[in-house]
Structure 1
């Protein structure tokens, strides 16, 4: 009996050993952490958070995240997540670039995927960016066709490349459909200060702007209160502002996040620039449906936008990337 029992235990152990590699590979969830300097609902971060929550809902990852992390605490929180054995750490390192790169150097086996204006850092620090200048150009075309005063107000967070390129693309699109349009540009020097953005927008409306580019939260509130129009950025808020937000350039982080997760799972994650996966050809960005404004945008403008959108998708039109600080042209 004893011999038979031992024999059975040995067989069971052998069967487990044979099954283990395949089983653990199929079942093991990738441990992912994210460190954000702003709230989850802030436009930019909400898109990363959404893509990671979708992977979590599919059962692919274990996901932990910290929001509103002060710049001074960023390095400490990154280190804590890396020490805890997270395989992929995601975040935005614009104001904390040096700290994030230092932590990545100290944890070469951990994959880092960071929003950054800088270059990848071997072996494990990849960067991404919201290269959504293509739909931003298309929203500009719509804005040019909708303004009656030919004055557009633009409120941005900081004049960094990620913001500047979208503003320039929007402006170029507006000029295509309306060469007479003039712009007033203001930066509030914050990523999340809706009251300040709202005040800046009110000042532009007082100067004659009848359409506002809402790069930050707060701008659409000002437009709504004064019965003006707004164009959204990164997310679609038309459901909250059905009579205000004409169009939005949407950022979809799923292509970037899903590719990084696959590479981590396959053991093939290296230092790369994921920026291209935010472009329309990778479904990383798109023009939001016109929705409540479908019948309000002039048909000839809609036709021009659709033709331009197709040209972008076909690779026949390239939206220029201009990272320099945009300036006001309104007198």
Structure 2
């Protein structure tokens, strides 16, 4: 996710543009004619590849490289003001599929796609596909299923019935996960109160840690670690934490109880296959992040095996099976969460 000069009003930024040209025989479809050729993939990130969200994209791309399916290059720490230039350079350099996250540069990114109609773009975005950019597909980490399950565990572990939550920005990508987590908590601890705060950055561990300390001082005994830095505060104060997007339990074995994991592999694999088949078009790839698609999961309990009440684990198993079967749907709520 992007890091600079972002506000929650970005939804007003996307404007209609000139209709983009399509490629190949069918309207709106682009890609390479030969599925046997090595696909050239480039990625543009606004934060370090170690950052939670971006690290999952980077991991999936490297896995595809190891399987011999793609060539992969990337740029990290790309500023919003420089994003368009880097997109154009990769487009000119012969890359077939360009991936990244354009949450603060929607207009510029979509204009690049219109200028290079024979290239495929798969970008993290809060917007849906647009007719004027038929080669610009979007994705997001819809891991509300796993977040909900992690909430069930958190509710079973809190003693103070006070949970702290520290996020980057109150945008849909964060809000929906927080709401799902809170819904899970209420399954096992309906009387829990929540402290919700946002640090105004995608990567500022010291600020996240400071904010977490304040919530712990106010009674939180479990922290929802949407940002790096929160688990550090939890560890120092001897409270528990719930992870998001990646599993950090190895670094915090006595602190991180459970984590909602995002798996970008289904998203990237689908895009690569469609580009190779000449079938890539403007679609919403967010669906590949759903649990039933293999796009998210609950991390193993690891060091907390045997420490979570069995009743909660039974409920997690029941809900997980229902989610995968399609008989239970975790609500997607993109509104800004508030403290209780």
What TM-score do the two structures reach when normalised by structure 2? Answer: 0.89
Q: How does 1:197-276 map to 2 (within 5 A)?
A: 197-276=208-287
What residue number does 1:86 align with? 95
Q: How does 1:1-331 map to 2 (within 5 A)?
A: 25=34, 27-121=36-130, 122-329=133-340
Q: CA deviation at 1:303?
A: 1.1
- Give CA-to-partner distance per residue, 1:205-231, whole Å, 9 cap, x none: 000000000000000000001111000
Unaligned runs of 5+ in 2: 1-32
- Give CA-to-partner distance per residue, 1:154-209, whole Å, 9 cap, x none: 00000000100000000011011101100000000100000000000000000000
- Give CA-to-partner distance per residue, 1:81-101, whole Å, 9 cap, x none: 001011000000101111111
Larger Rg: 1
- Give CA-to-partner distance per residue, 1:118-149, whole Å, 9 cap, x none: 01133100000101000100000100000000
C-alpha distance in 2 between matches for 1:31 and 1:301: 45
What TM-score do the two structures reach when normalised by structure 1? Answer: 0.91
Structural RMSD (CA): 1.0
C-alpha distance in 1 between matches for 2:169 and 2:300: 28
Question: Runs in 1 of length 4+ with deviation above 6 angstroms?
Answer: none
What residue number does 2:25 align with? none
Unaligned runs of 5+ in 1: 1-23
Name the structure, 1 or 2, with higher relative contact order (CA <8 Å, separation 6+): 2
Secondary structure (helix, strand or coil) at the match of 2:200 reads: coil
Q: CA deviation at 1:308?
A: 1.2
Q: Which has the higher helix share?
A: 1
Check whether the contact 2:42–2:90 (CA below 8 A) recurs between aligned residues: yes
C-alpha distance in 2 between matches for 1:283 and 1:126: 19
Check whether the contact 2:142–2:173 (CA below 8 A) recurs between aligned residues: yes
Q: CA deviation at 1:28?
A: 2.2
Secondary structure (helix, strand or coil) at the match of 1:33 reads: strand
C-alpha distance in 1 between matches for 2:98 and 2:232: 34
- Give CA-to-partner distance per residue, 1:47-91, whole Å, 9 cap, x none: 001001111111111111000000000000000000101100000
User: Number of residues paired by the alignment?
Assistant: 306
Secondary structure (helix, strand or coil) at the match of 1:302 reads: helix
Secondary structure (helix, strand or coil) at the match of 1:39 reads: coil
- Give CA-to-partner distance per residue, 1:238-279, whole Å, 9 cap, x none: 111110000000000000000100111111111100011000
Check whether the contact 2:148–2:184 (CA below 8 A) recurs between aligned residues: yes
